[in-house]
Amino acid sequence: MSKEQTPTPHIRAKYGEIAKTVIMSGDPLRARLMADKYLEDAVQFNDVRAMEGYTGTYKGKRVSVMGHGMGIPSIAIYSYELFNFYDVEQIVRVGTCGSFSENVPLGTILLAQGACTDSNYASQYNLPGQFSPLADYGLLRKTSDTAESRGLDFLVGNILSSDFFYDAGGRQKDWAAFGVLGVEMESFALYMNAAAVGKKALSILTVTDNLATGESQDSDQRRKGLGNAIELALDLL
């Protein structure tokens, strides 16, 4: 770790101002919502590029919440700096996704056991093959157990982290034939960054779009409808 490299070009926090556990969301306003609704004594540690971040306590345990933006390049930058420069031990992404099946309706929680991708992000590591990045099993198992005990509608499995939101080629649904549950744009990079430095990561995703039925939630519904996923993440502390 290199605390001498803090603050970073993208995070203005000093070393020690960010907790060992960070809960991240694509929308920085969702990070503000988490801080306002769930954290006590929250202090803002970042506003660079309007990517808000806060540190406070939840049930007496220290935690940070922060936005990560849209897409693999964005979350890759923030998670890399958190893992490598701020000594963060685990990052939990609370985000949204689209499902590939009409049997996976809006509101279903997907726990991303692994992440496929159409991105070239992993090429930087020069591995002699294709690496399949996974969630931390301890985080995954605890979240699954908690979701089951609460009677939540959830699934555990593989997801696709795509570089394309608007899939001009119409090929994203082909992943469903291999058991991939849904699509988002970030988890692959998060899991790769965690694996590269021996840290922990998990994505807890709420289905807000269904590619099979065409159903979709609007941006306000997406921002407000993630309470169950946020609470699952906070219960990992």
- The per-residue pLDDT for range 149-186, each reduced to its tens digit, is 999 999 999 999 999 999 888 889 899 999 999 999 99
Structure tokens at 101: 């099946």
What dihedral angle (degrees, nearest 10) is formed by the CA atoms of 143, 148, 154, 158? 50
For the chain, what percent of residues have pLDDT higher than 70?
98
Catalytically annotated residues: 209
pLDDT band at 224 (very low <50, low <70, confident <90, very high): low
Helices (H), the chain: 28-38, 72-85, 137-149, 187-197, 219-224, 227-234
- Nearest by Cα to 191 from 83, 108, 66, 53: 83
What local confidence, expressed as pLDDT, does residue 223 receive?
A: 66
Number of domains in the chain: 1
pLDDT of residue 217: 87
> What is the token pair recorded at 3?
């605390």
CATH of the domain at 146: 3.40.50.1580
Nearest Cα residue to 12 out of 92, 98, 81, 97: 81
The contacts of residue 105 (CB under 8 Å, 6+ apart) are 99, 153, 207, 210, 215
79-88 residue pLDDT tens: 999 999 999 9
DSSP-derived letter for residue 14 is: P
Name which of 13-27, 164-178, 189-203 the model is least confident about: 164-178
Which residues are CB-contacts of 214 (< 8 A; sequence separation ≥ 6)?
Answer: none
The pLDDT, as a whole number, for residue 170 is 86
**Domain encompassing residue 76:** 3-234
